[in-house]
Amino acid sequence: MDRRKGRLTSPPDRQSIIRLVNNAVNSGAIKQKACEIVGIDARTLDRWNKKAEDLRPIAAKPTPKNKLTNEEEQEIIRIINLPEYSHLPPSQIVPKLADKGKYIASESSFYRVMKKYNQQKHRGSTKAPVKRKVTTHCAMKTNQVWTWDITWLKTNVKGLYYKLYLMMDIWDRSIVAHEVWEEENSENASILIEKAVIANKVLRKPLVLHSDNGSPMKGSTFLATLERLGVTKSFSRPRVSNDNPYSESLFKTMKYCPEFPKKGFSSLQDAREWVLKFVNWYNNDHLHSGLNFISPMDRRLNKDIEMLKNRQKVYEQARNLRPERWTRHTRK
């Protein structure tokens, strides 16, 4: 039924109308005008044509008018494997053919045919890129995976900075070693890692130390120290800044806390004293969001499970007293 016209149209009538309009269009008539003559809208005709198609999965589909012939596909395969084109992508092959007065198909058609015939591989004399799995390390307890980095601390003298070395355990986010020096080199890093390994009693025990690709991290002195201590080295991927997120997050926590000297430190001793106070606060008093708001030292001492259970009891008691204020479950 054509609801806008208010009349019924049987399937045979539809087929007749479709045939008449198509014959008129093939003879040169405009489809819109032909539809107006028979009293239907052009969109109605399109809908009827769509319903008239055989939509079964096994039904033979009409061949697209712009489909390449088998001869054209074979010609594309022959051309891309010629010595003068075998190392070039379609984006260069098509223009080169056009310069010779020849056009077979577009670049996208070249790519489609290459994919169909399994020809879309690495082209050229250079080695194909190798996709390597990203190295990952998982910490299940303390002193399994450490991460470290160096940040600069501003001084009262313009252009002069102190270098803060910080090492942390990613399991409990605690700072295991720190030091402030005037220079940034692998010798200072070697001293710090040796002190940290001895202080935490992990000499020649399974320990991974992750860092970025800075020169102090890859210095020969530092790498030799890691090998002597039995520490496995791990580095961020080149030009990937977020492969060392724990250290970067720690530096942001430090430099954005209210007590951080925004105007800089007056001396090296002043910087060392302030960093020591920050480390004590961070390890013992700071409630870390990544630890469900437990301090790093409480987690390091395995107090976090009992503390979270106690918090849960408090939340449950509050919910039982005033259930109308709790729309869902209590906070984990």
Which letter does DSSP use for residue 174 in this model?
-
Lookup: tokens for 35? 């539809």
pLDDT of 247 strictly over 70: yes
Share of the chain above pLDDT 70, in %: 92
- In this prediction, residue 1 carries a pLDDT of 44
Q: What is the pLDDT of residues 90-139, one digit of tens each?
A: 999 999 999 989 998 999 999 999 999 888 776 666 676 777 777 788 88
SS (H, E, C) 60-81: CCCCCCCCCCHHHHHHHHHHHC
Helix (H, G, I), strand (E, B) or coil at 169: strand
Model pLDDT, residue 124 = 65
Q: Say whether pLDDT at 270 is over 70.
A: yes
C-alpha span between 150 and 217 (Å, rounded): 10
Question: Residue 174 above 50 pLDDT?
Answer: yes
Average pLDDT in the 60-83 region? 85
Backbone Cα Rg of the chain: 36
Q: What 8-state DSSP symbol labels residue 313?
A: H
Instruction: Locate the DSSP E strands across 112-259.
Output: 145-154, 161-169, 175-181, 208-211, 232-235
Q: Which of 73, 109, 69 is nearest to 90 (CA)?
A: 109
Q: What is each CA distance from 162 to 104, 157, 159, 175, 245, in whole angstroms?
A: 65, 11, 10, 19, 22
What residue spans of 212-303 are helical by DSSP H? Answer: 215-218, 220-229, 245-255, 268-284, 296-300
Q: What is the pLDDT of residue 29?
A: 85
Element containing residue 109 per DSSP (H, E): helix 107-116
pLDDT tens, position by position, 217-240: 999 999 999 999 999 999 888 877
| pLDDT value, residue 9 | 66
pLDDT tens track for 177-219: 999 999 999 999 999 999 999 999 999 899 999 999 888 999 9
Determine contact, residues 247/216, Cβ cutoff 8 Å.
no
Unique residue bearing structure tokens 């009293």:
39
pTM across the whole model: 0.62
Task: Tell me the three state secondary structure of residue 245.
Answer: helix
Give the whole-angstrom CA distance, residue 297 versus residue 10: 82
Domain boundaries, the chain: 11-52, 70-116, 145-284
Give the pLDDT band (50/70/90) at residue 87: confident
Locate 272 and state its tokens.
């060392």
CATH topology of domain 145-284: Nucleotidyltransferase; domain 5 (3.30.420)
Give the C-alpha separation, 247 to 236, whole Å: 12
Tokens at residue 141, please? 């307890």
Rounded distance between C-alpha atoms, residue 278 and residue 283, angstroms: 8
Give the pLDDT of residue 21.
Answer: 86
- Alpha carbon distance 218, 173 (integer Å): 24
Where is pLDDT greater, at 55 or 110? 110
* DSSP letter assigned to residue 185: -
